[in-house]
Every structure is written in structure tokens, then in C-alpha cells.
């Protein structure tokens, strides 16, 4: 089983719909992250959390929100999805400066 698990792996939705991407980890790390990957742009940080009570915006947080339900769970929400949020989303944890990624959630907004 993967140490960092993302669900769903693939999702197609329509403009205006609310979407939640979920992430859970078994690594016991306090720090968790949500990144977005777009072709030619690399990965950009959406939100990060140092522990359950510490959540911070990354470089592209507009249009997104997060919830850290427990040390092991960090979910990303799109309250009203728009087509330019079509992307591959990665959850990650970190320890000693090294990132550990989930396998990604591919979101398509029509």
C-alpha cells in the first residue's frame, strides 16, 4: 500500500461543481502539502500544513480551500470548479526537508 494515498485518482466534473480531493498518509509526518502540476509549469504549491492547527496558503491558493482533519488527512476543495483548474493534483508529506508524493489526482473541469 502506498504511504501517501489520494482519492479519487481521476475525476471529470462540470463548471460550478464542488469537488473534494482527499489525501491520507501512513508516514506519520506532520507536514502535508497540496501541489498542482501543469504541463510546462512544473509543480506549484497550493496550500501547506505544518500540523492540524497550522494551515497556510501557497503561491496559487485562490479558488481552493483545504481541511486538515487529522495528522494523517489533508483534503483539498474546489468550491466552484472552473476549466482552468483542470490539472494533475499531488498531495505530499515531508520530513527532514524531503517530500513524499502521492500518485496524483487528475481533475478535468468541463
Partner 1 sequence: AQSVAQPEDQVNVAEGNPLTVKCTYSVSGNPYLFWYVQYPNRGLQFLLKYITGDNLVKGSYGFEAEFNKSQTSFHLKKPSALVSDSALYFCAVRDGTNDYKLSFGAGTTVTVRA
Distances 28 to 48, 51, 67, 93 between C-alpha atoms, Å: 16, 11, 17, 9
Decide: 60 and 43 in contact? Cβ < 8 Å: no
CB of 66 to partner 1, least distance (A): 14
> Per CB under 8 A, does 45 bind partner 1?
yes
Which one of 20, 52, 55, 99 is in contact with partner 1 (CB under 8 A)? 99
Q: Which helix (H) or strand (E) holds 40?
A: none
Task: Provide the binding-site residues for partner 1, judged by CB under 8 A.
Answer: 4, 31, 33, 40-45, 48, 50, 56, 90, 92, 94, 97-104
Amino acid at each position: 500500500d502506498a504511504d501517501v494515498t489520494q482519492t479519487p485518482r481521476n475525476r471529470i466534473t462540470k463548471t460550478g461543481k464542488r469537488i473534494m480531493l482527499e489525501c491520507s498518509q501512513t508516514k506519520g509526518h506532520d507536514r502535508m502539502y497540496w501541489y498542482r502540476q501543469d504541463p510546462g509549469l512544473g509543480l506549484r504549491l497550493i496550500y501547506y500544513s505544518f500540523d492540524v492547527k497550522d494551515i497556510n496558503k501557497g503561491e496559487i491558493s485562490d479558488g481552493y480551500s483545504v481541511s486538515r482533519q487529522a495528522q494523517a488527512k489533508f483534503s483539498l476543495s474546489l468550491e466552484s470548479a472552473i476549466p482552468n483548474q483542470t490539472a494533475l493534483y499531488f498531495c505530499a508529506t515531508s520530513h527532514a526537508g524531503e517530500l513524499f508524493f502521492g500518485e496524483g489526482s487528475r481533475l478535468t473541469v468541463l
